């Protein structure tokens, strides 16, 4: 299934994808979208959450079929009208001519089947007559090609035995196993730390160079797009608002929406806009000495946090950065006693821990889907037992207003909110018992840049109004610089560098810190 040489690899004209709502009207997730992609080209589709970019990408492989969505317009991929293909034709198109790398590899891979077997299954489905032995050998070769170490052995591993970056590599290996002409990558680096992200993007560029495949990259991160594509298509509310060569769109954007997106992108050189950090004489709120956390027993035990000492002063923001597996989240959970240390001491205002709250990375899993957001926020107030029911409800409405939500949303449930709104709910719940210190664990990692900027701004406003101290854990070094007075860099459970944030960013002294900063994607990067 290949396209004639004179035909675009992808040709989309007046594409509309509408989802029924139960009433007379339908929600148009994509509305009149048109674009083309030449063979071997690279197009980035960017926009906020809900802009329709993933919905448009799914239409290229006919993935809306059977969902109730109404798809109109023309979509041609590798010379074939996608909507005209029957189920057999779609199966031939997917994998053989075009393949997709999904955002969450853990949910895209079968947890019960070895990774190598899953890749071999794709090969046998699209290349009839391939023996099991030959398919397995090609699967091992595909894993080796994408940089999985000891590929022959790791091919027998199941997805949960891979790190996040390795799972994403395995998904790319599966997508390119049959050497498709088009590779669709839907947010392939979201929630990955900067060094793993850098390696995944380099891998996508390598695959393009080796196979000549075209790339359609869906992302909310303009920095990721800047180093990966030739053209940008900016979407808002299901429509294309700007489309052109990468550097033209980045350097001379025509549309206000594009300019707003670019302005919201955190840049590694941006300093924090806030008053001077608390003086060394400010009272110490939190003091950790020699903290250690081990998981497991005997020779199989793993030390996730090893001999870390840390102080946080009143009104201060301490940023904690490091790759996945560095121990930063384990440290954050110990600071609020969600995990008990296996060694060391931990004091808050000179006493045993109390008066701290936490904002979690994933508000979907940290909020009970069966309870209203108002009841979730009320829990810590009711646990304190100092307010009656009427006072609790009044306080919850005040908290909703403080974080920028409608107080009347008290009775709505988490699924009725966007990702950014759910994160605001999490912040309101953390504020409920009036803490002096909040630990924020990756609070903006999966949010688009404008929503991310709103949450960072909200935290800054709350800090100034309430005098809060923050421990801000993140893998996005540009965001961390915007919020932090002091920076702690972790690797392998240990602190490798610590100091004032501006000093660490401008004069990093440890090679690991230098490598982290070098891996941060920049809008100034040239297109491949």
- More confidently predicted of 37 and 326: 37
Q: Does residue 62 share a domain with residue 173?
A: yes
Bridge partners of residue 16, in order along the sequence: 72
| pLDDT at 451 > cutoff 90 | no
| End position of a domain, from candidates 257, 274, 298 | 257
| pLDDT at 445 > cutoff 80 | no
Cα 324–Cα 330–Cα 333 angle in degrees, nearest 5:
135
pTM over 0.85: no
For residue 61, what pLDDT is reported?
94
| SS3 state of residue 491 | strand
Residue 365's contacts (CB-CB under 8 Å, 6 or more residues apart) are none
| pLDDT at 43 > cutoff 50 | yes
Which long-range CB contacts under 8 A does 197-202 form with residues at least 24 apart? 197/224, 197/519, 197/521, 198/519, 198/521, 199/147, 199/165, 200/165, 200/168, 200/169, 200/172, 201/227, 201/228, 201/521
Q: Which pair of tokens denotes residue 19?
A: 């989802």
Q: Does residue 312 share a domain with residue 381?
A: yes
Determine contact, residues 47/450, Cβ cutoff 8 Å. Answer: no
Residue 331 pLDDT grade (very low, low, confident, very high; cuts 50, 70, 90): very high
Q: Which pair of tokens denotes residue 189?
A: 């680096």
Task: Please count the residues of the chain.
Answer: 528
CA dihedral sign, ordered 187, 189, 192, 194: negative
Q: Does residue 141 share a domain with residue 54?
A: yes
Q: Does residue 483 share a domain with residue 349?
A: yes
User: Which of 198, 111, 119 has the alpha carbon at shortest distance from 162?
Assistant: 111
Q: Is residue 299 part of a domain?
A: yes
* Measured CA distances, 258 to 45, 220, 242, 450 (Å): 12, 12, 7, 11
Q: Does residue 293 share a domain with residue 251?
A: no
Q: Kindly provide the b/e burial profile for residues 159-194, where b requires at least 16 CB atoms within 10 angstroms of the residue's own CB.
A: beebebbbbbbbbbbbbbbbebbbbbbbbbbbbbbb
Residue 423 pLDDT grade (very low, low, confident, very high; cuts 50, 70, 90): confident
Q: Does residue 300 share a domain with residue 244?
A: no
Q: Is residue 25 part of a domain?
A: no
Q: Kindly provide the b/e burial profile for residues 374-408, where b requires at least 16 CB atoms within 10 angstroms of the residue's own CB.
A: bbbbbbbbeeeeeeeeeebbebbbebbebbbbeee
For residue 527, what pLDDT is reported?
40
Determine contact, residues 358/435, Cβ cutoff 8 Å. Answer: no
For residue 273, what pLDDT is reported?
58
Q: Does residue 300 share a domain with residue 208?
A: no
State which residues form the domain around 429: 285-518
Determine contact, residues 234/261, Cβ cutoff 8 Å. Answer: yes
For residue 272, what pLDDT is reported?
59
| pLDDT at 528 > cutoff 50 | no
Q: Is residue 21 part of a domain?
A: no
Q: Does residue 362 share a domain with residue 251?
A: no
* Order of strands, sheet of 182-186, starting from the edge strand that comes earlier in the sequence: 98-101, 182-186, 214-219, 42-46, 231-236, 239-245
Residue 145's contacts (CB-CB under 8 Å, 6 or more residues apart) are 173, 176
Q: Is residue 179 part of a domain?
A: yes
Q: Is residue 17 part of a domain?
A: no
| pLDDT at 526 > cutoff 50 | no
pLDDT per residue as tens digits for the range 254-270 = 999 999 989 888 887 76
What's the number of domains the chain is made of? 2
* Order of strands, sheet of 80-81, starting from the edge strand that comes earlier in the sequence: 26-37, 10-20, 70-77, 80-81
Q: Does residue 477 share a domain with residue 347?
A: yes
Per-range mean pLDDT, top range of 154-168, 190-204, 444-458, 499-513: 499-513
pLDDT per residue as tens digits for the range 157-189 = 998 888 777 888 888 888 888 888 999 999 888
Residue 23 pLDDT grade (very low, low, confident, very high; cuts 50, 70, 90): low
Helix H or strand E segment including 345: strand 343-348
pLDDT per residue as tens digits for the range 351-369 = 766 557 777 766 666 788 8
Longest pairwise C-alpha distance within the chain? 75
Q: What CATH number does the domain containing 483 carry? A: 3.40.50.300
| pLDDT at 282 > cutoff 80 | yes
Cα-flanking dihedrals φ and ψ of residue 387, to 5°?
-125, 145
Q: Is residue 435 part of a domain?
A: yes
For residue 251, what pLDDT is reported?
92
Residue 276 pLDDT grade (very low, low, confident, very high; cuts 50, 70, 90): low
Determine contact, residues 323/196, Cβ cutoff 8 Å. Answer: yes
Q: Is residue 10 part of a domain?
A: no
Say how far apart CA 316 and CA 156 lie, in whole Å: 48
Q: Does residue 100 share a domain with residue 203?
A: yes
For residue 512, what pLDDT is reported?
93
Say how far apart CA 408 and CA 316 lie, in whole Å: 33
Q: Does residue 182 share a domain with residue 328?
A: no
- Mean pLDDT of the chain, nearest integer: 86
Mean pLDDT of the region 399-404: 90
Q: Kindly provide the b/e burial profile for residues 210-234, where b requires at least 16 CB atoms within 10 angstroms of the residue's own CB.
A: eeebbbbbbbbbbbbbbbbbbbbbb
Say how far apart CA 319 and CA 459 lie, in whole Å: 13
Bridge partners of residue 490, in order along the sequence: 495
Q: Which pair of tokens denotes residue 468?
A: 């809060």
| pLDDT at 240 > cutoff 60 | yes
Q: Does residue 297 share a domain with residue 247?
A: no
Determine contact, residues 438/356, Cβ cutoff 8 Å. Answer: yes
CA dihedral sign, ordered 235, 236, 238, 243: negative
Task: Burial-class residue 68 by CB neighbours within 10 Å (0-12, 13-18, 19+).
Answer: exposed
Q: Which pair of tokens denotes residue 114?
A: 């070895």
For residue 355, what pLDDT is reported?
58
User: Which of 271, 274, 320, 194 has the alpha carbon at shortest distance from 482?
Assistant: 271
Q: Is residue 297 part of a domain?
A: yes
| SS3 state of residue 453 | helix
| End position of a domain, from candidates 221, 237, 257 | 257
């Amino acid at each position: 299934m290949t396209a004639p040489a004179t035909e675009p690899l992808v040709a989309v004209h007046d594409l509309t994808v509408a989802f029924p709502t139960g009433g007379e009207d339908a929600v148009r997730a994509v509305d009149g979208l048109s674009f083309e992609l030449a063979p071997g080209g690279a197009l980035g589709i960017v926009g906020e959450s809900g802009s329709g970019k993933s919905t448009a990408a799914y239409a290229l492989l006919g993935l809306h079929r059977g969902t109730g969505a109404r798809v109109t317009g023309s979509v041609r991929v590798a010379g074939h009208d996608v909507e005209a293909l029957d189920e057999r034709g779609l199966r031939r198109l997917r994998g053989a001519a075009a393949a997709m790398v999904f955002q969450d590899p853990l949910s895209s891979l079968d947890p019960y089947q070895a990774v190598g077997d899953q890749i071999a299954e794709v090969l046998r489905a699209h290349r009839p007559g391939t023996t099991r032995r030959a398919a397995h050998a090609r699967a091992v070769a595909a894993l080796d090609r994408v940089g999985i170490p000891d590929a022959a052995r790791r091919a027998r591993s199941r997805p949960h035995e891979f790190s996040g970056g390795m799972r994403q590599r395995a998904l790319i290996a599966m997508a390119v196993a049959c050497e498709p002409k088009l590779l669709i990558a839907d947010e392939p680096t979201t929630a990955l730390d900067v060094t793993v992200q850098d390696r995944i993007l380099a891998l996508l560029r390598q695959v393009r160079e080796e196979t000549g495949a075209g790339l359609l990259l869906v992302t909310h991160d303009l920095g990721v797009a800047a180093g990966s594509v030739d053209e940008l298509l900016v979407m808002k509310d299901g429509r294309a608002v700007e489309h052109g060569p990468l550097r033209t769109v980045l350097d001379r954007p025509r549309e206000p929406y594009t300019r707003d997106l670019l302005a919201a992108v955190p840049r590694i050189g941006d300093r924090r806009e806030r008053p001077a950090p608390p003086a060394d004489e400010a009272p110490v709120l939190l003091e950790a000495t020699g903290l250690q956390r081990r998981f497991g027993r005997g020779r199989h035990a793993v030390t996730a946090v090893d001999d870390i000492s840390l102080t946080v002063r009143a009104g201060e923001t301490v940023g904690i950065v490091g790759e996945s597996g560095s121990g930063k989240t384990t440290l954050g959970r110990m600071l609020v006693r969600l995990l008990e240390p296996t060694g060391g001491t931990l004091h808050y205002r000179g006493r045993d821990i109390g008066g701290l709250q936490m904002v979690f990375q994933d508000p979907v899993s940290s909020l009970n889907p069966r309870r209203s957001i108002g009841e979730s926020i009320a829990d810590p107030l009711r646990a304190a037992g100092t307010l009656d029911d009427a006072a609790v409800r009044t306080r919850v409405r005040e908290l909703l207003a403080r974080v920028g939500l409608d107080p009347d949303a008290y009775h709505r449930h988490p699924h009725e909110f966007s990702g950014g709104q759910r994160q605001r709910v999490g912040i309101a719940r953390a504020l409920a018992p009036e803490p002096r210190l909040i630990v924020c664990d990756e609070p903006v990692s999966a949010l688009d840049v404008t929503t991310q900027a709103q949450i960072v701004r909200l935290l800054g406003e709350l800090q100034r109004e309430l005098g809060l101290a923050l421990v801000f854990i993140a893998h996005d070094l540009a965001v961390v610089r915007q919020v932090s007075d002091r920076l702690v860099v972790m690797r392998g459970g240990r602190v490798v560098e610590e100091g004032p944030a501006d000093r660490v960013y401008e004069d990093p002294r440890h090679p690991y810190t230098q490598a982290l900063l070098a891996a941060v994607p920049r809008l100034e990067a040239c297109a491949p």
